Protein backbone atom coordinates (compact mmCIF):
# COMPACT_ATOMS: atom_id res chain seq x y z
CA UNK A 1 0.00 0.00 0.00
CA UNK A 2 1.17 3.50 -0.85
CA UNK A 3 0.22 6.59 1.15
CA UNK A 4 0.55 10.30 0.45
CA UNK A 5 1.55 12.94 2.98
CA UNK A 6 1.71 16.59 2.01
CA UNK A 7 3.34 19.47 3.85
CA UNK A 8 5.22 22.66 3.24
CA UNK A 9 8.27 21.60 5.32
CA UNK A 10 9.42 25.17 6.01
CA UNK A 11 11.74 23.76 7.34
CA UNK A 12 11.61 19.97 7.70
CA UNK A 13 11.77 19.31 11.48
CA UNK A 14 11.92 16.43 13.93
CA UNK A 15 8.14 16.41 14.35
CA UNK A 16 7.84 15.82 10.61
CA UNK A 17 10.39 13.04 10.80
CA UNK A 18 8.44 11.29 13.57
CA UNK A 19 5.21 11.48 11.54
CA UNK A 20 6.93 9.93 8.53
CA UNK A 21 8.52 7.19 10.62
CA UNK A 22 5.13 6.26 12.09
CA UNK A 23 3.35 6.23 8.73
CA UNK A 24 6.10 4.28 7.07
CA UNK A 25 5.59 1.50 9.62
CA UNK A 26 2.01 1.17 8.37
CA UNK A 27 2.53 1.38 4.61
CA UNK A 28 4.82 -0.06 1.92
CA UNK A 29 5.77 3.24 0.39
CA UNK A 30 5.21 6.86 1.43
CA UNK A 31 4.96 9.73 -1.01
CA UNK A 32 6.10 12.99 0.59
CA UNK A 33 4.52 15.90 -1.29
CA UNK A 34 6.42 19.18 -1.08
CA UNK A 35 3.50 21.61 -1.16
CA UNK A 36 3.49 25.21 -2.42
CA UNK A 37 6.59 24.23 -4.37
CA UNK A 38 6.71 27.53 -6.28
CA UNK A 39 6.91 29.55 -3.05
CA UNK A 40 10.14 30.75 -1.49
CA UNK A 41 11.88 33.86 -0.15
CA UNK A 42 9.11 34.97 2.20
CA UNK A 43 9.09 34.86 5.99
CA UNK A 44 6.43 32.13 5.95
CA UNK A 45 7.95 30.16 3.06
CA UNK A 46 11.65 30.97 3.09
CA UNK A 47 13.05 27.86 1.36
CA UNK A 48 12.74 26.77 -2.28
CA UNK A 49 11.33 23.39 -3.25
CA UNK A 50 14.83 22.25 -4.16
CA UNK A 51 16.15 23.20 -0.74
CA UNK A 52 13.28 21.41 1.00
CA UNK A 53 13.81 18.38 -1.26
CA UNK A 54 17.39 18.27 -0.07
CA UNK A 55 16.40 18.55 3.62
CA UNK A 56 14.02 15.59 3.27
CA UNK A 57 16.25 13.38 1.15
CA UNK A 58 19.38 13.89 3.24
CA UNK A 59 17.44 13.09 6.41
CA UNK A 60 15.48 10.09 5.18
CA UNK A 61 18.46 8.34 3.62
CA UNK A 62 19.51 7.55 7.19
CA UNK A 63 16.36 5.51 7.74
CA UNK A 64 15.01 2.38 6.12
CA UNK A 65 11.98 4.10 4.61
CA UNK A 66 10.59 3.60 1.10
CA UNK A 67 9.62 7.07 0.01
CA UNK A 68 9.23 9.44 -2.92
CA UNK A 69 9.70 13.20 -2.40
CA UNK A 70 7.75 15.13 -5.03
CA UNK A 71 7.22 18.90 -5.45
CA UNK A 72 3.53 19.79 -5.79
CA UNK A 73 2.59 23.16 -7.25
CA UNK A 74 -0.29 25.18 -5.79
CA UNK A 75 -3.18 25.37 -8.22
CA UNK A 76 -5.78 27.97 -7.38
CA UNK A 77 -8.51 25.66 -8.60
CA UNK A 78 -9.62 23.26 -5.87
CA UNK A 79 -11.71 21.04 -8.12
CA UNK A 80 -8.73 19.93 -10.22
CA UNK A 81 -6.09 19.75 -7.50
CA UNK A 82 -6.47 16.04 -6.77
CA UNK A 83 -6.01 15.21 -10.46
CA UNK A 84 -2.92 17.35 -10.56
CA UNK A 85 -1.45 15.50 -7.56
CA UNK A 86 -2.34 12.15 -9.13
CA UNK A 87 -0.47 13.03 -12.33
CA UNK A 88 2.72 13.79 -10.40
CA UNK A 89 2.76 10.79 -8.06
CA UNK A 90 2.73 6.99 -8.19
CA UNK A 91 -0.79 5.65 -7.58
CA UNK A 92 -1.81 5.68 -3.91
CA UNK A 93 -4.93 4.84 -1.94
CA UNK A 94 -4.48 6.60 1.39
CA UNK A 95 -3.73 10.19 2.29
CA UNK A 96 -2.60 11.47 5.66
CA UNK A 97 -3.65 15.05 6.31
CA UNK A 98 -4.88 17.32 9.05
CA UNK A 99 -6.15 19.94 6.64
CA UNK A 100 -9.90 20.08 6.15
CA UNK A 101 -9.81 21.22 2.50
CA UNK A 102 -7.33 18.51 1.48
CA UNK A 103 -9.40 15.94 3.38
CA UNK A 104 -12.61 17.00 1.63
CA UNK A 105 -11.07 17.04 -1.85
CA UNK A 106 -9.58 13.56 -1.48
CA UNK A 107 -12.67 12.16 0.28
CA UNK A 108 -14.85 13.21 -2.64
CA UNK A 109 -12.49 11.19 -4.87
CA UNK A 110 -12.91 8.13 -2.62
CA UNK A 111 -9.49 8.10 -1.03
CA UNK A 112 -8.96 6.79 2.48
CA UNK A 113 -8.14 9.86 4.55
CA UNK A 114 -6.31 9.53 7.85
CA UNK A 115 -4.99 12.06 10.33
CA UNK A 116 -1.26 11.87 11.00
CA UNK A 117 -0.33 11.52 14.64
CA UNK A 118 1.46 14.71 15.59
CA UNK A 119 4.47 14.61 17.86
CA UNK A 120 5.27 17.14 20.59
CA UNK A 121 3.56 20.15 19.01
CA UNK A 122 4.85 22.45 21.73
CA UNK A 123 8.39 22.26 20.41
CA UNK A 124 8.08 21.00 16.84
CA UNK A 125 6.31 23.65 14.83
CA UNK A 126 7.44 25.32 11.63
CA UNK A 127 6.11 28.69 12.76
CA UNK A 128 8.00 28.55 16.04
CA UNK A 129 11.21 27.37 14.42
CA UNK A 130 11.16 30.17 11.82
CA UNK A 131 10.56 32.64 14.65
CA UNK A 132 13.61 31.35 16.51
CA UNK A 133 15.70 31.59 13.33
CA UNK A 134 14.67 35.18 12.93
CA UNK A 135 15.25 36.13 16.58
CA UNK A 136 18.58 34.37 16.90
CA UNK A 137 17.38 31.76 19.42
CA UNK A 138 18.56 28.17 19.23
CA UNK A 139 16.65 26.18 16.60
CA UNK A 140 19.18 23.57 15.56
CA UNK A 141 18.05 20.95 18.11
CA UNK A 142 14.52 21.01 16.64
CA UNK A 143 15.47 19.78 13.18
CA UNK A 144 17.45 16.77 11.97
CA UNK A 145 21.20 17.29 11.78
CA UNK A 146 21.14 17.10 7.96
CA UNK A 147 18.67 19.99 7.83
CA UNK A 148 21.08 22.15 9.79
CA UNK A 149 23.72 21.41 7.16
CA UNK A 150 21.42 22.28 4.26
CA UNK A 151 20.41 25.57 5.85
CA UNK A 152 24.06 26.39 6.39
CA UNK A 153 24.97 25.49 2.78
CA UNK A 154 22.35 27.92 1.46
CA UNK A 155 22.99 30.58 4.12
CA UNK A 156 19.31 30.29 5.06
CA UNK A 157 19.33 32.15 8.38
CA UNK A 158 20.71 35.28 6.78
CA UNK A 159 18.10 35.03 4.03
CA UNK A 160 15.33 35.05 6.63
CA UNK A 161 16.88 37.97 8.50
CA UNK A 162 17.33 40.04 5.35
CA UNK A 163 13.76 39.33 4.28
CA UNK A 164 12.55 40.69 7.62
CA UNK A 165 14.22 44.06 7.27
CA UNK A 166 11.86 46.99 7.24
CA UNK A 167 10.93 48.25 3.80
CA UNK A 168 12.25 51.66 2.95
CA UNK A 169 9.37 52.57 0.76
CA UNK A 170 9.56 54.66 -2.39
CA UNK A 171 5.83 54.17 -3.09
DSSP 42: S
Q: Hey, is 69 helix, strand or coil?
A: strand
Give me the phi and psi of 86, to 5 degrees please: -60, -35
Strands 29-34 and 112-114: unpaired
Give the Cα separation of 157 and 101 in Å (integer). 32
- Judged by the rule CB under 8 A, the positions of this chain that interact with a copy of itself are 7-8, 10, 15-16, 19, 37-42, 48-51, 53-54, 57, 68-71, 73, 76-80, 82-84, 86-91, 97-101, 103-105, 107-108, 115-116, 118, 125-127, 153-154, 159, 162-171
136 versus 169: smaller Cβ distance to a copy of itself: 169
b/e code 54-64 from CB counts within 10 Å (16+ = b): bbbebbbeeee
- Closest distance between a copy of itself and the C-beta of residue 25, in Å? 17
Amino acid sequence: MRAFLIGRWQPFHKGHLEIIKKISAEVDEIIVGIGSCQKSHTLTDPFTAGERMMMITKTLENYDINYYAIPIIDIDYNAVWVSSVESLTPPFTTIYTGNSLVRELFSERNYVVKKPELYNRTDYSGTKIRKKMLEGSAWEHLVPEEVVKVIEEIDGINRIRRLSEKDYDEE
